[in-house]
Structure 1
Amino acid sequence: MRVLITGATGLVGQHLLRLLIDDPRVSEIVAPTRRKLPEMNKVTNLVEADLTDVLGPLQTPLDIVFCCLGTTRREAGSKAAFIHVDYALVVDTAIAGQRLGAKHLLVVSAHGANMHSPFFYNRVKGEMENALQKQGWPRLTLIRPSLLLGERENSRAGESLMAPLFRLLPGNWRAVAARDVAAVMLREAFAPARQEVTVIESSAIPHAR
């Protein structure tokens, strides 16, 4: 199978990329990024400052699309920049995937995603999910992790402070490891279809042994 992954340099994306490389069911991985990746088996790395410039001209036929894009308002620098990454580029990824024949889209969203939320972050995530559902994918999998645990290249001070607390919280609030989110994405990509839209909440993400 040929797959597309956006967000391959991010916390979840790095883990998922390694899993895809090791999976014999995957024959080619198209991974557009803003920063060049090391040479890796099966990976076609297209590098542009804005991923939209890569996604538009892309011609590789695809079977599955993975989107691991995500930032924070502080990291992005402004509300507009956050919306560009967490909404516009996610939607652009999906549009490119559909155009190239993909039948299954898997996206990292967030716990609390709700287009009617009074909180900016959750509202944008909800609006993104709503836009994807309107595209009419044969299969759409939305994964809503709580705080992500893992080693980032650029650490987020707020997340580092909150991580010990979020490890102890119950249900969907409990922090989850990025590698576990990646493992769920790979599992769901090849699992038999249960319904058109599958939402996996944070508490349903199993912990690796």
Structure 2
Amino acid sequence: MANVLITGATGLVGGHLLRLLLREPGITSITAATRRPLSPMPGVTNPHNPQLLKALAQVQGPIDIVFCCLGTTRRDAGSKAAFIHADYTLVVETALAGQRLGATQMLVVSAMGANARSPFFYNRVKGEMEGALIAQRWPRLTIARPSMLLGERKAHRLNESLLAPLFRLLPGNWKSIEAKDVARALLAQALSPGEDGVAILSSARLRQMAARQRTAG
């Protein structure tokens, strides 16, 4: 049985994950810290504040597992500074909130190509975020690196719409992946016995894990 904290529950992957958590008998309690209030859901505690850091400060323990599904683009964020705040600062602060409340496992949605030394801003920030979480020395840390995410977003992203048909045809890690499959894989990873330490799940690996969950279900 596990008590869960999730951030990013209003997003593409996080929304799917929240619904899976609600149906999972191994989950004792769910705390979803958000900027905007969620629709009331039995079994979900929803501290919310337009400043997510203030919502996280309201979270009460105990917490066993932390899921972070936060993520945006530089275009949607509006500036480099705002992107760093969303995809680095808030992710790191989510992890710290979980540690403060006793969590021993952290799972985060990063991105394919994350690399702290990348010349590309997006990939570099994602890589720096991963490095910061690793430095927190979690007993068990899972980093998911999906390719292009597929699914119905509340806000339309033109570049993704244009590139989606191409990414569906690409092989291996480059092939696009359904957001709900990322959520399935994250939950399976969280509830599996697994080894301690850092696990990095490639996009191809996420698809394989999700396929096994669909078959088992």
TMscore range, shorter length: over 0.9
Which residue number in structure 2 is paired with residue 180 of structure 1? 181
CA distance in 2, matches of 1:132, 1:32: 19
Instruction: Tell me how far apart the structure 2 counterparts of residues 114 and 198 of structure 1 sit (CA, whole Å).
Output: 16
Residue ranges of structure 1 left out of the alignment (5+ in a row): none
* Displacement of 1:58: 2.5
C-alpha displacement of 1:151: 0.2
Amino acid in structure 2 at the alignment position of 1:30:
T
Q: Which residue of 1 aligns with 2:71?
A: 70
Q: TM-score, normalised by structure 1?
A: 0.97
Structure 2 unmatched runs, 5+: none
Amino acid at match of 2:86: V
TM-score (normalizing by structure 2): 0.94
Is the contact made by 2:33 and 2:59 (CA closer than 8 Å) also made in structure 1?
no
Counterpart code for 2:83: F
User: Once superposed, what is the RMSD of the aligned Cα atoms?
Assistant: 1.0
Contact 2:61 2:102 in 1 (8 A): no
Give per-residue Cα distances to partners, 1:49-81, cap 9 Å, x unaligned.
111112134222101000000000000000000
1:3 is paired with a residue whose SS is: strand
Q: In the alignment, what sits opposite 2:122?
A: 121
SS in structure 2 of the partner of residue 31 of structure 1: strand
Deviates more, 1:79-88 or 1:194-203: 194-203
- Aligned partners of 2:8 and 2:69 also within 8 Å: yes
Q: Which residue of 1 aligns with 2:109?
A: 108
Give the Cα separation in 2 of the matches to 1:41 and 1:122: 37
What is the CA deviation profile of residues 145-180 of structure 1, one whole-angstrom value per residue up to 9, with x for unaligned ones?
010000001111110110000011111111000000
Residue 81 of structure 1 is matched in structure 2 by 82
Larger mean Cα displacement after TM superposition, 72-81 or 32-41: 32-41
SS of the equivalent of 2:125 reads helix
Aligned to 1:145: 146
Counterpart Cα distance in 2 of 1:58 and 1:47: 10
2:192 corresponds in structure 1 to 191
Equivalent position of 2:48 in the other structure: 47
Amino acid at match of 1:180: D
- Aligned residue pairs total 209
Structure 1 outlier segments of 4+, above 3 Å: none
CA distance, structure 2, for counterparts of residue 117 and residue 193 of structure 1:
30
Distance 2:58 2:168 in 1: 42
1:184 counterpart letter in structure 2? A
Q: Alpha-carbon deviations, 1:70-95, whole Å to 9, x = none?
A: 00000000000000000000000000
Q: Once structures 1 and 2 are overlaid, which stretch shifts more, 86-95 or 22-31?
A: 22-31
Matches within 5 A, 1:11-30: 11-30=12-31
